[in-house]
Amino acid sequence: METKKNRWLMALAGVALHISIGSVYAWSVFTQPLQDKVGWTLSDVSLIFSIAIFFLGTSAAFMGHFVEARGPKASGLISTVFFSSGLILSGFAVSIENLWLLYLGYGVLGGIGLGIGYITPVSTLVKWFPDRRGMATGLAIMGFGFAAMIASPVMGYLIDNFGIANTFYIMGVTYFVIMLSASLYLERPPEGYHPSGIPLQEQPKQKKDYVQLTANEAVKTRRFYFLWLMLFINITCGIAILAVASPMGQEVAGLSVKSAAIMVGIMGVFNGAGRLVWASISDYIGRPVVQMSIRYILLFKLSCSRYYHSRRTACYL
Which pLDDT band, with edges at 50, 70 and 90, does 312 fall under?
low
Query: What does pTM read for this prediction?
Result: 0.78
Q: Count the Cβ atoms, other than its own, within 10 Å of residue 176.
A: 18
pLDDT at residue 45 tops 60: yes
Q: Which amino acid is at 188?
A: R
Closest CA to 272 of 180, 114, 138: 138
pLDDT at site 198: 62
Q: How confident is the model at residue 1 (pLDDT cuts 50, 70, 90)?
A: very low
Average pLDDT over residues 106-135: 87
Contacts of 282 (CB under 8 A, 6+ apart): 134, 289, 290
Q: Per-residue pLDDT averaged across 35-49, rounded?
A: 88
SS3 track for 162-228: HCHHHHHHHHHHHHHHHHHHHHHHCCCCCCCCCCCCCCHHHCCCCCHHHCCCCHHHHCCCHHHHHHH
CA 159 to chain centre: 22
pLDDT of residue 185: 92
- Please give the pLDDT value at position 212: 62
pLDDT single digits (tens) 66-117: 888 888 999 999 999 999 999 999 999 999 999 999 999 999 999 999 999 9
The chain-wide mean pLDDT, for the chain, equals 81
- The predicted pLDDT at position 315 comes to 56
Tell which residue, 124, 113, 120, 110, has the closest CA to residue 64. Answer: 120
45 neighbors 168 (Cβ within 8 angstroms): no
Mean pLDDT within 213-227: 76
CA dihedral 72, 73, 74, 78 (to 10 degrees): 90
Amino acid identity of residue 186, one-letter, is L
Element (H, E) at 87: helix 72-95
The pLDDT value given to residue 208: 47
**Poorest-confidence range of 30-44, 81-95, 155-169, 207-221?**
207-221
C-alpha closest to that of 11 among 129, 116, 119: 129
Residue 137's identity, in one-letter code, is: T
Asked if the model's pLDDT at residue 260 lies above 70, the reply is yes
Q: What is the pLDDT of residues 165-207, one digit of tens each?
A: 999 999 999 999 999 999 999 988 877 676 666 655 545 454 4
| Residues recorded for the chain | 317
Domains observed in the chain: 7-195+221-316 (1.20.1250.20)
> With 60 as the cut, is the pLDDT of residue 61 above it?
yes
Residue 281 pLDDT: 85
Helices 110-128 and 133-162, packing angle to 10 deg: 150
